[in-house]
Amino acid sequence: MNISRSLQCGHAERPIGIFDSGVGGLTVFKALRARLPGEHLLYLGDTARLPYGTKSAESVTRYALRAASHLAERGVKMLVIACNTASAIAMPVLVREFAPLPVIGVVEAGAEAAVRTSQSGHIAVLATESTVLGGAYERAIKALCPGARVFSQACSLFVALAEEGWIHGPLVEAVVREYLHPLLEEKKRDGLDCLVLGCTHFPLLKETIAQVAGAGVMLVDSGETVARAVEKLLAEQRLTLGQSTRGGARFLATDGVERFARVGSLFLGERLAAQDVERVDL
């Protein structure tokens, strides 16, 4: 693939490409649109292969390469890996394969925000099973703050709850309480004071997670932090599009455009129609 050639015009007018395993990355899309309203955004949800969070590193890397190639072929000016699992596992490969296209992942941005937020240096990461197994958050946090203590917890059921729109209520609270139990013990014993929402779906459960985590624990949402990182990198590379007009948005999905639109509306906080979503094969 000839990325260099497609970037030669280096035009700021090109869209920012964002990809996720499904609709969850729309939390990142939303944060990007709020921070950079003039930018054109092209979002790809790999719904045919969802979930990534329980797949092997080999599969996640292969899927991520395909999704990123599709966006690169469409001439995006930057790649944002909204999926925490893909960022955690495939980031080095994506950076290498797509150079000089700038690639930003959610893990580094989330780790940076966590280190900035935590006073005690005792940080918890809530993520999918594959993200936790890969240990990328722990490495990224410790690279920034070698003395940090990182406690990681896989919370697989949160993905299904968010996809169902179950974000409040006693059942959700019970599930959150179950997963957070060991972290609350750490908080009591050892001053854990920061919790990273290390999965695209978890910001939807933010209120319940915050309530269960209780006072003294700050939540870090990777959507907001990655939007800040994208803004900075665009400025550094002189790729920022003027903010005078509203940027466009396009949505691509590898399967189930109706479901993408229905569940996506929940993540986006506004109505998305099936005809707004283009079905693509990777």
Q: Which residues contact ligand DGL (rule: CB under 6 A)?
A: 20-22, 24, 50-53, 83-85, 128, 131, 159, 199-201
Residue nearest to ligand DGL (CB): 53
Minimum CB separation of residue 56 from ligand DGL in Å reads 13
50: its two tokens: 């969802």
Minimum CB separation of residue 80 from ligand DGL in Å reads 12
Burial status of residue 100 (CB atoms within 10 A of its CB: 0-12, 13-18, 19 or more): exposed
C-beta closer to ligand DGL: residue 63 or 151:
63
Minimum CB separation of residue 195 from ligand DGL in Å reads 15
Contact 182, 151 (CB under 8 A): yes
C-beta closer to ligand DGL: residue 28 or 241:
28
C-beta closer to ligand DGL: residue 83 or 213:
83
C-beta closer to ligand DGL: residue 15 or 51:
51
26: its two tokens: 């729309």
Residue-by-residue DSSP string for 151-211? EEEE-HHHHHHHHHT--SSHHHHHHHHHHHHHHHHHHHHH---EEEEESTTGGGGHHHHHH
β-pair partners for 218: 194
Q: Which residues are catalytic?
A: 83, 199
CA atoms within 13 A on the CB side of 57: 12
């869209």: which residue's tokens? 15
- The set of residues, in sequence order, having a beta carbon less than 8 Å from that of 159 and lying 6+ positions away, is 24, 51, 53, 128, 199, 201
Minimum CB separation of residue 131 from ligand DGL in Å reads 6
103: its two tokens: 């690639």
C-beta closer to ligand DGL: residue 141 or 241:
141
Length of the chain, in residues: 282
Q: Are strands 194-198 and 218-221 parallel, antiparallel or unpaired?
A: parallel
Minimum CB separation of residue 246 from ligand DGL in Å reads 27
């949160």: which residue's tokens? 158
